Amino acid sequence: MSVEAFLAAKTRDHINATKLAEKEEGHERSIPYLVAVTFWRKGREGLLRITQRLNDSRIKIDPERSFFSQLPKDIADSARFNYEACIFGISLVALEDALIEKKVSKRRIVDFYNATFKNTFIPQWLYDGNDEEQLDDKNWRKLIGVADIKSSDSDRSLASFFEEDWHLVPKIIRTFLEEETKTLEPIRKKVIPPFRQLMVALIKEKMIARENDANR
């Protein structure tokens, strides 16, 4: 299933499937994490299907050239959208790691990137470094302030990190989106709106459920 099909289907079922998979691995995840990882999963599935179509048509992608420019026109837009959904998922997972660990590892981002696009037409990212960005207490607290549901300034969807709070995002993640993958603007236009819409609905559901439990 591609991201397009996911958004047109019963999205809650797929998010619940992600939640179940995470629980089976012993993880309790936030709602933004679960939604972002679902976008990532469906983006990867979409790219694997496109790759199979390319293989069936014996279309070879030259890794030294822009890979999207080499795709047939009827699948290029879908490929870009699914790729951008994957990059968004990778970025939000890295951001959540930063909130928890107070640091960002480029090595971890690269490994996640390469695992995501393994067996697809997207070339692997060659990187032999181990750069890390440690967050100082001031910047870390600002990040936490946006994510904290108890804060009056919080955005519980975390979508604002890709928009008005972009300046707070650790530099390694900003560079990943702005320069290395050049996906920030497409993500803002195509991924953030459905992500935010889903997040608002899920947060509202959770609040209603809590109120109902409190009134029992």
Q: Residue 208: what pLDDT?
A: 56
Q: What is the pLDDT of residues 2-33, one digit of tens each?
A: 777 777 766 677 777 777 777 777 766 777 88
Residue predicted with more confidence, 215 or 196: 196
Contact 173, 95 (CB under 8 A): yes
Lowest mean pLDDT among 23-37, 65-79, 84-98, 181-195: 23-37
User: What pLDDT, on a 0 to 100 scale, did the predictor assign at position 4?
Assistant: 75
Q: What is the model's pLDDT at position 105?
A: 96
Instruction: Determine the Cα–Cα distance for residues 123 and 18; give it in Å rounded to an integer.
Output: 26
pLDDT of 150 above 60? no
Say how many domains are in the chain.
1
State yes or no: pLDDT of 35 exceeds 90. Answer: no
Query: Domain range spanning residue 86?
Result: 3-215
**What average pLDDT does this structure show over 160-173?**
93
Q: Is residue 112 scored above 70 in pLDDT?
A: yes
Tell me the average pLDDT of the chain. Answer: 86
